[in-house]
Structure 1
Amino acid sequence: MVAGSIQRNLDSGVRLPSDGVIQARISVLVLTHNRAVSLDRCLASLARQSEPPDELIVYVNGSVDHTVDHVRTHYPWVRLIEADRNFGAPGGKNRGIIASRHEWVMCVDDDGTLPADAIARARAAIRRHPDAAIIAGAVRDSFHPPPESLVEGPTFVFRGGICVIRRSIFLKQGGYHEDGLREGEEGELSFRLHDAGEYVYLCPDLVLDHHMEGARPPYRVVFRSSVRQALLTSLRFVPIPALAPWLGWKLCSYIIAARRRDCLGALFLGIWDGLRLASVAWNERKPVQYRTLVASRWYLPPRENRWRADRRETRLRAGEHETR
């Protein structure tokens, strides 16, 4: 039934529901690597959509488990693309988006599930923000702001695990940067998009329920990657007159965070990682306008800022209780 619905959408050109509103055609991209169990939950939630996607791509990023055979057996209606090696998350998404057939590509993490009306909500968001380069969704787990705390509107940041990307703009801007970073490709792309005058909109009613498989990586690993990405992004994009104060401000903020979480070692390792690639980042310099720098710090939905402040205050209070 789902396979037939997807094929009819591919053949019809556009979708005209009963209200006569032309529907955006959406490709869904699920990137996976050795996560057959998580992927099964994700695809099951996509199969239950009230409005099926026009195309569903599973890009298998060099998996060595039984993911490929499982998808072929249980989800024959999925367009399966198998890479001969692991290109990393940025590289895999780039190749999946290039291979997609439609202008709007909805990226979904393989360890998440979607509500039954997620595709319908994505199409509604595209109708509300037809000028968007990226429509950002919200992640429901214990590590991100709860969707209920966010408001719809322009934003600088987005979560790569649940977003709708306008394919033509994404490719025009060069896609995700593939420098082997474990994290941070979304922030790097945001600098390029905003400097080119493109828009990212947050639509918090587009939600991914995140089910992490196994333990979350230690905070030190995530912090080290974050420091490295901040250094490389600064070297690529910050204008020279602002580079020294920008790096100084970044360093101070990371020192405070590292002391609070007892991970000064991760801070120095992250700086060392960044310095090893500093020449590459410097050769790729494309300084942004100052308005882009301002946007990167303040262009956040107000309720998310409030959530961050509340969470910071809660942590501080918890620390006070521990010291008493």
Structure 2
Amino acid sequence: MTGLKPRVSVIVLTWNGKRYLPGCLGALAVQTFRDFEVILVDNGSEDGSGQYVREAFPWVRLVELPENLGFAEGNNRGLATAQGKLIVTLNNDTLAEPGFLAELVGAAERYPRAGMIAALLVNFYDPARIDAAGIAPGFDGLGYCLGHGEPVGAPWDTSREVFGPSAGAALYRREMIDEIGFFDAAFFAYAEDFDLAWRGRRAGWPCMTAPQAVVRHVHSATSGTESPFTIYHIHRNKWYVLLKDWPTRLLLRHLPRILMADLAALSVALLKGRGGAALRARWGVLAALPWLLVKRREDDGKRAPLPVEQLFARGLSLAALKRKLGMS
């Protein structure tokens, strides 16, 4: 944190998450890498988050929004004030290790063509377990957190190419953002990082991991893992990504598996009393279909053949699939 234009801008979004800010911002204050700024976007909180940050962390730049604009647009508003060439997104329910930023920046230097760098998120309460070592689509159309639930260590302890980073702790190169844009506000929350990873890859920007950039993550602390809000946006946004981003050839090839997985997810939601949110999500997709097709046509000229199928999530355990479908 210097008086000059910082190299890194860290955007932290919060919505009624005041209880997490002492840990999150306190961990950023003791980073070994110092050439950075922190932008705290208060997404219309009603718990005094803004006033608390002003008093406890006066070095943090505060962007206060009048209402909750969602994860995607909230981060976009933070980006509008960011000065760094490297943009880091960080969830408020995280605790970054002291070398977190140094490791991310080091990876960005080692891989100058990588537009995205994935940090290693570990379980807040069991840091020996991985929360996400990156993200990847599955051939069933679902989106997966790589390594979720696995022990920290091999094969996730060495840098590798992955499909994309979890936006809960990720570095994005501004040069890439200037070319393709940042998060799509239409997603509001969930899967916006998958959409951004697809767009980045279409433009030729791969993603590498920084396995020593470690962050402890509570996971779904703001919205809950099975709230109607979460169910609605996960079910809807999965189809947003499929219809907006997947190459036609890939989508048609795997459509039977995608439809079977969707039926299974809907059935589980109905059995668990969350069918209303899941059904509304599908109506939301139908209502957005004209917009999705327009976006798809706009991107057709950029839809170069993507050799990304080898980066799709493979060899998933039954437990991983059950977690994704909400069965455990």
Tell me the TM-score normalized by structure 2. 0.77
**CA-to-aligned-CA distance 1:47-88 (integer Å, 9 cap, x gap):** 122223421111222222211111111111112222233221
* Shift in CA distance, 222/199, structure 1 to aligned 2, threshold 3 Å: same
1:281 is aligned to 292
Q: What corresponds to 1:148 in structure 2?
A: 153
Match 1:90 to one of 72, 83, 86:
72
Instruction: State yes or no: 1:139 paired with 2:121.
Output: yes
For residue 179 of structure 1, give the secondary structure of its aligned residue in structure 2.
helix
The answer to whether the Cα contact below 8 Å between 1:140 and 1:209 also exists between their aligned partners in 2 is yes
**Match for 1:230: what amino acid?**
K
Measured in 2, the distance between the counterparts of 1:215 and 1:179 equals: 18
Instruction: Give the direction of change, closer, same or farther, for the CA distance of 1:148–1:291 in structure 2 (3 Å limit).
Output: farther
Say if 2:2 is the partner of 1:7: yes
Give 1:272 deviation, angstroms.
2.5
C-alpha displacement at 1:231, in angstroms?
A: 1.9
- Give 1:227's aligned amino acid: H
- Where does 1:38-77 land on structure 2 (aligned, <5 Å)? 38-77=20-59
TM-aligned CA deviation for residue 126 of structure 1: 1.5
Q: Which has the higher strand share?
A: 2
Mapped pair 1:202 → 2:209: yes
Quote the Cα distance in structure 1 between the aligned partners of 2:223 and 2:71.
19
Q: Tell me which moved more, 77-86 or 209-218.
A: 209-218
Q: Identify the residue that residue 227 of structure 1 maps to in structure 2.
A: 235
Mapping for residues 1-324 of structure 1, pairs under 5 Å: 6-8=1-3, 10=4, 25-141=7-123, 144=132, 145=148, 146=150, 147-149=152-154, 150=156, 151-212=158-219, 213=221, 216-218=224-226, 222-240=230-248, 243-257=251-265, 262=271, 265=275, 268-285=279-296, 286-287=299-300, 289=303, 291-292=305-306, 295=308, 297-300=309-312, 305=314, 308-309=316-317, 311-312=319-320
Distance 1:312 1:72 in 2: 41
Aligned-pair CA distance for 1:93 = 0.7
Q: For residues 178-199 of structure 1, what are the alpha-carbon distances to aligned partners after superposition, in whole Å with 9 as ceiling and x for unaligned?
A: 1144311011111111111111
Deviation at 1:235, TM superposition (A): 2.2
Distance 2:293 2:322 in 1: 39
Where has structure 1 moved over 6 Å in runs of 4 or more? none
More helix by share: 1
Matched to 2:23, the amino acid is R
Q: Which has the larger radius of gyration?
A: 1
- Pair 1:210–1:95, CA change in 2 (3 A): same
| Deviating more after overlay: 108-117 vs 146-155 | 146-155
Contact 2:10/2:39, CA 8 A, preserved across alignment: yes
Where 2:317 maps in the other structure, the secondary structure is helix
What are the superposed Cα offsets for residues 21-57 of structure 1, whole Å, 9 maximum, x if unpaired?
A: xxxx212111112211111210111112222342111
Q: Distance in 2 between matches of 1:90 and 1:313?
A: 26
Q: 1:92 to 1:314 in 2, by over 3 A?
A: closer
Corresponding residue SS for 2:216: strand
Structure 1: 5+ residue stretches without partners:
1-5, 14-24, 320-324
Residue 186 to residue 314, structure 1, CA distance change in 2 (3 Å): closer
Alpha carbons of structure 1 residues 157 and 70: separation in structure 2 relative to 1, 3 Å: same
The share of aligned pairs that are identical, in percent, is 23
CA offset at residue 129 of structure 1?
A: 1.2
Distance in 1 between residues matched to 2:105 and 2:286, nearest whole Å: 43
**Deviations along 1:69-117, whole A, 9 cap, x unmatched?**
1111111111222223322110011121221111001111111010111
Q: Which letter maps to 1:281? A: L
Specify the alignment match of 2:145 in structure 1.
none
Which amino acid letter does the alignment assign opposite residue 94 of structure 1? N
- The unaligned stretches of length 5 or more in structure 2 are 124-128, 133-147
Task: Output the amino acid matched with 1:298.
Answer: Q
